[in-house]
Structure 1
Amino acid sequence: MKSLFGTAWRPPQRAVLVPRRWLSRKTSSARQLPARDGEPIHPKHLLHLLKPANPDLRRPQFVMKRNYQLFQSLAESRFNHVIESMGNWAENQEEWRSFGLNSQLDLERQAGLFKATLAKAFELAMTKNKIGRQDNPLFWNLRNAFIRLESEGLARELQHAFQTFLMRDRFPQAVNELHRALADMRHPYEWYPATRMIQRTIHLHVGPTNSGKTYNALKALENARTGIYAGPLRLLAHEVWNRFTAKNKACALVTGEEMRIPSNADTWFHSCTVEMTPLNARVDVAVIDEIQMIETEDRGWAWTQAFLGVQAKEVHLCGEERAVPLIQDLCARIGEKCVVHRYQRLNPLVVSEESLGGGFANLRKGDAVVAFSRVGIHQLKAGIEKQTGRRCAVVYGSLPPETRASQAALFNDPNNEYDFLAASDAIGMGLNLEIKRVIFESAFKFDGHAFRPLKVPEIKQIGGRAGRYRTATQEMMGVSAKPVPGEVTAFDDEDLDIIQKAFKTEPGPIPTAGLFPPPSIIERFHSYFPPRTPMSFVLGRLRELSRISNRFHMCDFTTAMEIAEVIKGYNLSVSDRCIFVNVPINLRDEKQIAALQAFANCVAELGNGHLLDFGLIDLEVLDAVRPEGRPEQANYLRRLESLHQIITMYLWLSYRYQGVFQSQALAFKVKEMVEAKITEHLEKLNFVPELQRVKRQRMRKAAARIKEQEAFWLGENGEEAGAEQGEAGEGEQGARVLEPDDEPAGQLVDARA
């Protein structure tokens, strides 16, 4: 979080006077208030002021009550802003009428009633400690939204809560009961009746990195007549596609933005990203890679959908040991046999006692330095090559597949000068790289919302890529050799301690699988609302009413609801809106939002979807000369990345609206040109050691501050909300918010399409 209450909000005066009264006279004089008397205190000072020096005032109950009082003031202030942003009744009467408001007086009266409901929710939290999803859902949703997305998330949640409040009396009891029945998702395996007609056998391959589990699963796929590979990355889909085509096996490549279908074969294999798994194809064998990602709250639904819906006689799941209890339980529920294959690591792995000391002097041939942004990767490359005089290859998620393959080949070849590799966490997903030592540039990453420490499974998966059982050259020659040991370390001493602790820690079993309602449910649910009801409200209502079993959790609705808001002014069918809410987009970029609206308008009006007819697409940047100044260079890169994402969005839509977006070949050409421009720019970046050191320190401080602030709102252990979200039983679900980083170096962005 950038600050405790976001960057724009200033608390009302009464929110500040309360904690002042709690401070003793001695404490007040000892702490100089950071603002003149009678003026609002800046949010960044509130956390400091709210830590009373008197030990008697540190009791958890007292502290949390005080925090909730401040949070109530913030929520009330934010709600006033929400009402202003939604427009008065006269300005937006068509939408207000859809919520049953027929005048400005009605709007003001309902806003007043909602404020009373809001106050009651906070009173329950402060006086009776009712803060759970079941006991106090309004408070629970607001607090979780604020913790995850600060004031922006709180405002969004307040808007959805107010819309839900307005609709409370709009439906008769029979319709409300129908809504609840449609939102009953306790048995998602019933969504795939054709699959349930097949008696499948589930083979679960589990083990640490470099244990051969994926290798054995792919062997089963190769020996089948027809089959599917579904992985988390476009790069992995390309790698498997190349593997099959090299063996003269007809194979289709299917990702969100690219489809290559064999033209000279009647049957073929499929290699795809997990979201694109063809559920209507009957095959002999299906391989679903990285099954542990079924627990993620942004993409976990895709693994659940592929696992429950793929029509294969044999389904091979590859992943971590902690996925076993969940998969066995789900198999028992659907009556399918589950065979667990456990593997041990084929070569030893050690965690170093020493870091690199913040420099490149101790680099050795075969080292891979892992960073978490595309800019960071290329800056590392520049620093390594300048200090060592040797070449450094680069690998990251958004790199074109052909470029990635050539870079990997250069690094894997022991007979050239490419001694080192700068890579993203995409290497943890099974790319074929002969790494001897993995070096974490940092133990922290930006997850699209905030800086956070790497999780234990992430560290183990990335670090586990160090060392190989046999090199590619040895495999080709059939040479038997002693396993090459792997080593893991960090760039700085401060991060090495986190890495060492992670390898001594065993993460617990995965508790739940992600779910997201399929379009068929959304369309049926939407049909029971008045015309012109915003789809964002319908999705919010569906989220609130959802009932799921204790082995599932509801995935993120927030991005879909935001996209629905962005395109609500266009005359799209519900089916079209269900497509658009899944479009790959960075909603922090105004240019991408404008492009999305232009694309939505094109579909609504069945207009001309030729790429060059969209004047707002910044194609001029392709002719621009790379500037010299640092701020100008940053803006230049932002323009290129924005254009790249817009073209990706166009390609994604072109496969879903082939008669509208017809410039697919041109879009691929423009995409290649943009990628070349980005690569050219990144290769000219410099590595400034002191700036990079300061950057890493800033990441650590930001992550520590976020952890402190979460403890501030959730209690000392910071686990309250997380425990509630994963609790057993059935009930209404909130959604966790997580957007991909706008620097597409890691797996989240790469796989979203």
Structure 2
Amino acid sequence: MQLASNKGLTARNDNPLFWSLRNAFVRGDTNGLDRELRYSFQSFLLRNKFSKSVTASHKKLADLRYPYDWFPATRAMQRTIHLHVGPTNSGKTYHALKALENAETGIYAGPLRLLAHEVFARFTAKGKPCALITGEEQRIPEGTDRYFASCTVEMAPLNKRVDVAVIDEIQMIADQERGWAWTQAVLGLQARELHLCGEERAVDIIKAMCARMGDKCIVHTYKRLNPLRTMQESLQGDFRKLEKGDCVVSFTRIGLHTLKAGIEKITGRRCAVVYGSLPPETRAQQAALFNDPNNDYDFIVASDAIGMGLNLEIKRVIFEAVTKYDGGGHRVLTVPEVRQIGGRAGRYRTAAQDIKDNHTDTTSRPTSKNAPAGMPASAGLVTTLDDEDLGVVQAAFTSEAEPIKAAGILPPTFIIEQFYSYFSEDTPLSFVLARMREMAKLSEEFQMCSIVPLMEVADLIQEFPMSIQDRLIFLTAPANFHGTGQKQVLKVLARCISENRTAHLLDIEGLDLDILDIERGAADVNNTQYLQRLEELHKSITLYLWLSYRYQGVLTSQHLAFHVKSLVEEKIKDFLDNLSFTVEGRKAKRQQTRLLVERHRKLEEKILGDEPSNEAELVQEGPGAWSEEGHEEALMEDEAEAEDPVGLPDAIREVVSDDRLPRPAGEDVRT
């Protein structure tokens, strides 16, 4: 603390403990600080038990400055890396996918399950054998061993040599949760040609990495194919001002379905809905209904997943709000997020049209369906629902995001295994991970991604005897611990794998299958409880499926799990389809979130001041809560959203506006 206050030393390299504690508080509030204090104290107690020689070995293994050397087979290749950069709707991804289509073998790696499905459908429609590989689903073509693979980026096969690989949304290499997956793919994919698509702010970091790897780097810069403009006024909360071809953006599934109900109620016209968690067939159907000018589906509500490349013919993007809940708290959208989502206005063509017509010209005539009066057919417009948010959107389109300074990284499993071998078998894996994080050396091009979620999983399964290899598999499982149900399911599955005992789905303790027998609106279960139980069951089933691909002899109910998962999704869909809408309720919800964000900003400013950061900081780069399987939008932000509040309670208004922090003991600031 003296180093920070007297000498201004707050960077990770200069003052690691202070940096860790402050970062934990900023990102995770008091709960995050509590976890960090416990891990730091544990490390303090145990560090003096190691001899100098063992400590020296630890430091050597924790030297992560040369991650290029982790992939010797890839380093033996001479790759050509094509970096396609530009704003949305500039054709960069189109050109990369064309290179992939013209190859004999290849891989597509994207940030969302919906994009993996879209590329899988595109290649399959053109008669090209293609595998779909995501965390919970694997479809492998039969009768051939030469096929393309469409994956979420974490699942990209690093041991498969191919002609061409495409990595989408390369700017997410800086994401604080998932950036390591993009870094791993760039360093490790064995492709003679590697095509990276994304924003121009990624150019410097990619060129620096290519220089270190010895790969040839060719930068292709694209300009937007049509104009994009921010409007000078909002819709002032009035859905009657919507025009044909409008897209209203919201950030939770409850928000999307509530808006759909409200738009149809107020305008008397049909509204499609598209988000990442929809089944691929439903998503394609909804997109087709909106894109078809010859029906009565005039509007669409969509999640911020549209900013990740979903093809829709949108005239105007309207932000319902410019704040979102990202799993740690409410925050204002970043400049790149606003620009990427808003940039989907005025799209030229859809992927479905490209497949149907087999076009090769990205500058083909734009559709005139959504042309606003007095403007070119392809012009895109961006605005907000409320006046209070318009300034944020306008400012985002008049400023440029800073270049990416550091790529996210996590130590690979083989290094963690070696590091773990220096400790006794009863040493908690969470301590080993904390020790590695504490001692890690990084070059200026890399920054450690958040390791706390891995430590939480490690603590949950610590009591079960299993190999380090099994423990590391669990660390990468799609676990989300906002509720208690999935913790119990994870522990049951870990016990079964530890004992090599068959885990039939119906015998798993803590799996809330009873919720399937309860109908929506039951007297003994309120909306929040009903939806939370369904969501927890869905996450638990997803966890079971993910592990079933890795422990097929233990988790034997994969087909039943897929069936139960579909039943849960039907019940969630039924709930969402029957949400009610009140103008006052949604308006109050938006105002409440603005107050919470402003309250957090004031608190952060009070504690941290306005001092500039003296080292690169990883940030959230995309949609959704990243602990969600498929990395898509959350079901709801908080309990109030499920209950459809009709106003902002005075008690909440007082809390978020008061400089004091009145709260019940044990609850964090956001609560």
Q: TM-score surpassing 0.5? A: yes
Q: Structure 1, residues 398-421: CA drift from partner, whole Å, max 9, x if none?
A: 112221111111111111221111
Shift of the 471–372 alpha-carbon distance from structure 1 to 2, 3 Å rule, reads closer
- The aligned amino acid for 1:171 is F
Given that residues 426 and 746 in structure 1 are in contact (C-alpha distance below 8 angstroms), is that contact kept between their aligned partners in structure 2?
no
Given that residues 96 and 166 in structure 2 are in contact (C-alpha distance below 8 angstroms), is that contact kept between their aligned partners in structure 1?
yes
Q: Structure 1, residues 124-149: CA drift from partner, whole Å, max 9, x if none?
A: 44455544434433233222212222
State the match for 2:625 in structure 1. 740
Q: After the TM superposition, which residues 50-449 of structure 1 pair with which residues of structure 2 at under 5 Å, given as runs?
A: 122-449=1-328
**CA apart distance, 1:716:** 2.9
State the match for 1:577 in structure 2. 471
Q: After the TM superposition, which residues 558-569 of structure 1 pair with which residues of structure 2 at under 5 Å, given as runs?
A: 558-569=452-463
**CA apart distance, 1:623:** 1.3
State the match for 2:656 in structure 1. none
Distance 1:551 1:428 in 2: 26
Q: Structure 1, residues 175-211: CA drift from partner, whole Å, max 9, x if none?
A: 1110000000101010000000110000000111001
Q: What is the DSSP-based 3-state SS (H/G/I as helix, E as strand, rest coil) of the residue aligned with 1:397?
A: coil
Distance 1:667 1:199 in 2: 44
For residue 602 of structure 2, the aligned residue among 672, 683, 708 is 708
Q: Which stretch has the larger CA shift, 212-221 or 570-579? A: 570-579
Shift of the 223–744 alpha-carbon distance from structure 1 to 2, 3 Å rule, reads closer
Q: Structure 1, residues 281-322: CA drift from partner, whole Å, max 9, x if none?
A: 000000000000001110000000001100000000000011
**Residue 502 (structure 1) aligned with residue 396 (structure 2):** yes
Distance 2:150 2:119 in 1: 6
- The aligned amino acid for 2:409 is L
State the match for 1:533 in structure 2. 427
- The aligned amino acid for 1:253 is L
Q: After the TM superposition, which residues 28-67 of structure 1 pair with which residues of structure 2 at under 5 Å, given as runs?
A: none
Given that residues 321 and 384 in structure 2 are in contact (C-alpha distance below 8 angstroms), is that contact kept between their aligned partners in structure 1?
yes
For residue 633 of structure 1, the aligned residue among 510, 521, 527 is 527
Q: What is the DSSP-based 3-state SS (H/G/I as helix, E as strand, rest coil) of the residue aligned with 1:167?
A: helix
**Residue 462 (structure 1) aligned with residue 341 (structure 2):** yes
Distance 1:545 1:642 in 2: 36
Q: Structure 1, residues 53-87: CA drift from partner, whole Å, max 9, x if none?
A: xxxxxxxxxxxxxxxxxxxxxxxxxxxxxxxxxxx
Shift of the 523–593 alpha-carbon distance from structure 1 to 2, 3 Å rule, reads same
Given that residues 275 and 633 in structure 2 are in contact (C-alpha distance below 8 angstroms), is that contact kept between their aligned partners in structure 1?
no
Shift of the 411–317 alpha-carbon distance from structure 1 to 2, 3 Å rule, reads same
Shift of the 261–396 alpha-carbon distance from structure 1 to 2, 3 Å rule, reads same
**CA apart distance, 1:472:** 6.5
Distance 1:709 1:725 in 2: 22
- The aligned amino acid for 1:375 is I
- The aligned amino acid for 2:150 is S
- The aligned amino acid for 2:491 is Q
Shift of the 625–529 alpha-carbon distance from structure 1 to 2, 3 Å rule, reads same
Q: What is the DSSP-based 3-state SS (H/G/I as helix, E as strand, rest coil) of the residue aligned with 1:168?
A: helix
- The aligned amino acid for 2:318 is I
Distance 2:583 2:525 in 1: 19
Q: What is the DSSP-based 3-state SS (H/G/I as helix, E as strand, rest coil) of the residue aligned with 2:288?
A: helix
Moved over 6 A (4+): 741-746
Q: After the TM superposition, which residues 1-20 of structure 1 pair with which residues of structure 2 at under 5 Å, given as runs?
A: none
**CA apart distance, 1:157:** 1.1
Distance 1:401 1:308 in 2: 31
**CA apart distance, 1:712:** 1.3
- The aligned amino acid for 1:577 is R
Q: Structure 1, residues 74-132: CA drift from partner, whole Å, max 9, x if none?
A: xxxxxxxxxxxxxxxxxxxxxxxxxxxxxxxxxxxxxxxxxxxxxxxx34444555444
Question: RMSD over aligned Cα, in angstroms?
Answer: 2.2
Gaps of 5+ in 1: 1-121, 728-733
Q: Structure 1, residues 215-272: CA drift from partner, whole Å, max 9, x if none?
A: 0100000000000000000000000000001111000000000000001223100000
**CA apart distance, 1:347:** 1.2
- The aligned amino acid for 2:158 is L
- The aligned amino acid for 1:197 is A
**CA apart distance, 1:702:** 1.0
Q: Structure 1, residues 570-628: CA drift from partner, whole Å, max 9, x if none?
A: 11211111111111122121001111111111110111121111132111111111126
Shift of the 287–395 alpha-carbon distance from structure 1 to 2, 3 Å rule, reads same
State the match for 1:22 in structure 2. none
- The aligned amino acid for 1:648 is T
- The aligned amino acid for 1:433 is L
Distance 1:294 1:665 in 2: 35
Given that residues 454 and 475 in structure 2 are in contact (C-alpha distance below 8 angstroms), is that contact kept between their aligned partners in structure 1?
yes
Given that residues 206 and 340 in structure 1 are in contact (C-alpha distance below 8 angstroms), is that contact kept between their aligned partners in structure 2?
yes
**Residue 550 (structure 1) aligned with residue 429 (structure 2):** no
Tell me the percent identity.
Answer: 58
Q: Structure 1, residues 6-29: CA drift from partner, whole Å, max 9, x if none?
A: xxxxxxxxxxxxxxxxxxxxxxxx
- The aligned amino acid for 1:552 is F
Distance 2:137 2:35 in 1: 34
- The aligned amino acid for 1:673 is L
Distance 1:256 1:745 in 2: 8
Distance 2:225 2:338 in 1: 19
**CA apart distance, 1:639:** 0.7
Given that residues 285 and 315 in structure 1 are in contact (C-alpha distance below 8 angstroms), is that contact kept between their aligned partners in structure 2?
yes
State the match for 2:648 in structure 1. none
Distance 2:106 2:303 in 1: 30
For residue 597 of structure 1, the aligned residue among 491, 509, 520 is 491
Q: What is the DSSP-based 3-state SS (H/G/I as helix, E as strand, rest coil) of the residue aligned with 1:267?
A: coil
Q: What is the DSSP-based 3-state SS (H/G/I as helix, E as strand, rest coil) of the residue aligned with 1:169?
A: helix
Q: What is the DSSP-based 3-state SS (H/G/I as helix, E as strand, rest coil) of the residue aligned with 2:108?
A: strand
- The aligned amino acid for 2:87 is P
Q: What is the DSSP-based 3-state SS (H/G/I as helix, E as strand, rest coil) of the residue aligned with 1:313?
A: strand
**Residue 653 (structure 1) aligned with residue 538 (structure 2):** no
Distance 1:264 1:236 in 2: 25
Shift of the 631–123 alpha-carbon distance from structure 1 to 2, 3 Å rule, reads farther
Q: What is the DSSP-based 3-state SS (H/G/I as helix, E as strand, rest coil) of the residue aligned with 2:277?
A: coil
State the match for 2:661 in structure 1. none
Q: What is the DSSP-based 3-state SS (H/G/I as helix, E as strand, rest coil) of the residue aligned with 2:47?
A: coil
The TM-score with structure 1 as length reference comes to: 0.79
Distance 1:322 1:354 in 2: 29
Q: Structure 1, residues 490-511: CA drift from partner, whole Å, max 9, x if none?
A: 0001111100010001111111
State the match for 1:40 in structure 2. none
The TM-score with structure 2 as length reference comes to: 0.89
Distance 1:173 1:695 in 2: 57
Gaps of 5+ in 2: 367-375, 636-671
Given that residues 412 and 433 in structure 1 are in contact (C-alpha distance below 8 angstroms), is that contact kept between their aligned partners in structure 2?
yes
- The aligned amino acid for 1:424 is S
Distance 2:610 2:218 in 1: 42
Given that residues 367 and 435 in structure 1 are in contact (C-alpha distance below 8 angstroms), is that contact kept between their aligned partners in structure 2?
yes
**CA apart distance, 1:152:** 1.5
Q: Structure 1, residues 160-181: CA drift from partner, whole Å, max 9, x if none?
A: 1111112222111111110000
Given that residues 595 and 617 in structure 1 are in contact (C-alpha distance below 8 angstroms), is that contact kept between their aligned partners in structure 2?
yes
Q: What is the DSSP-based 3-state SS (H/G/I as helix, E as strand, rest coil) of the residue aligned with 2:405?
A: coil
**Residue 670 (structure 1) aligned with residue 555 (structure 2):** no
- Equivalenced residue count is 619
- The aligned amino acid for 1:747 is E
Q: Which stretch has the larger CA shift, 169-178 or 237-246? A: 169-178
Given that residues 557 and 735 in structure 1 are in contact (C-alpha distance below 8 angstroms), is that contact kept between their aligned partners in structure 2?
no
State the match for 2:646 in structure 1. none
Q: Which stretch has the larger CA shift, 461-470 or 186-195? A: 461-470
**CA apart distance, 1:675:** 0.6
Given that residues 470 and 483 in structure 1 are in contact (C-alpha distance below 8 angstroms), is that contact kept between their aligned partners in structure 2?
no
Give the greater-gyration-radius structure (CA).
Answer: 1
Distance 2:627 2:152 in 1: 20
